[in-house]
Amino acid sequence: MSIAPLTDLSRCAIHTFTTKPLNLAQAVSAYQAAGVTGISVWRQHLEPYGCTEAARILADAGMSVPAYVRGGFFTGSESERGASIDDNKRCLDEAAAIGADQVVLVVGATPGMPLADARNQVTDGIAACLDHARGCGVKLAIEPLHPMYAGDKSCVNSMRQAREIWQELGDPLVGVAVDVYHVWFDQDLAEEIRLAGADQRIFGFHVCDWKCDTNNLLLDRGLMGEGCIDIRGIRQLVESAGFAGWIEVEIFSSTHWAKTQTDWLSEVTAAYLAEV
């Protein structure tokens, strides 16, 4: 028995990368016009404005910012790891400047490095950012990525691996972003969501869909309803686990980016109400 559909857009947030062709100001206007009041900002979309101007644009429009995307990439050589920690601190500063609740972490992976070793480096990297995150008042959300990104993007490929890190760190500032695209097939999903929720570590919930005929490993995500994920079923899991936050639409799609983005946003909000 599934839960009821959402009846309004009050919890809907959209990642700026979902409308990649729009700059930040255009995205804010378009989301507002579509009735969407949450925006998760990617660094690429902030960069041309700088923090002060971006913060002003977001505040003037009354937008909430669930997430700033993305920090992480903690693995590598000694010097790479040091540079990464510095960059993550800058990322936290930027997140704080625009009032983001959390930084989403794509944790990194280094070809040839055993994934377990990489996860240890990730744990150390996050630990090194914790005081800074606390000072900023910004949370750190580990996003497990699909195993097809284990080669060079993320050594955390399951909710369990994310949990092992936040449990080891034992700091309420570190939790998880649950993206249906990356975890929908996980045999342990229900149990892992329950565990994360019990410790109030579900910081984000991202939606899109997995198309069975996916033709690109990065840029062919589906709009909710275009694929095979039981999105509402996963929403039921996170909500049963206590999550009541923003539902973030995060879709990378060359196909959808080729459309007029206001039309695309209409599709997004309709699918949100119908499928999430």
Residues contributing to the site for a copy of itself (CB under 8 A): 111-112, 114-116, 146-148, 150-152, 157-158, 160-161, 184-185, 187, 210-212, 214-217, 227-228, 230
Nearer to a copy of itself, 228 or 270 (CB): 228
Sign of CA dihedral 251, 255, 269, 263: positive
Nearer to a copy of itself, 103 or 162 (CB): 162
Q: How far is the CB of 98 from a copy of itself (least distance, A)?
A: 32
Nearer to a copy of itself, 9 or 180 (CB): 180
Query: How far is residue 222's CA from residue 214's CA, in Å, rounded to a whole number?
Result: 8
Tokens of 20: 């990649």
Q: How far is the CB of 95 from a copy of itself (least distance, A)?
A: 28
Q: How far is the CB of 248 from a copy of itself (least distance, A)?
A: 22
Nearer to a copy of itself, 59 or 228 (CB): 228
Q: How far is the CB of 218 from a copy of itself (least distance, A)?
A: 10
Please give the C-alpha separations between residue 41 and each of 46, 148, 180, 190, 230, in angstroms, as whole numbers: 7, 24, 19, 29, 26
Nearer to a copy of itself, 25 or 150 (CB): 150
**CB neighbour list of residue 82: distance below 8 Å, 6 or more residues apart:** none
Nearer to a copy of itself, 151 or 172 (CB): 151
Residue 109 belongs to what H/E stretch?
none
Tokens of 104: 């989403």
The answer to whether the CB of 145 falls within 8 A of the CB of 151 is no
User: At 18, which amino acid appears?
Assistant: T
**H-assigned helices in 22-114:** 24-33, 43-46, 51-60, 78-97
Q: How far is the CB of 242 from a copy of itself (least distance, A)?
A: 23
Q: How far is the CB of 19 from a copy of itself (least distance, A)?
A: 25
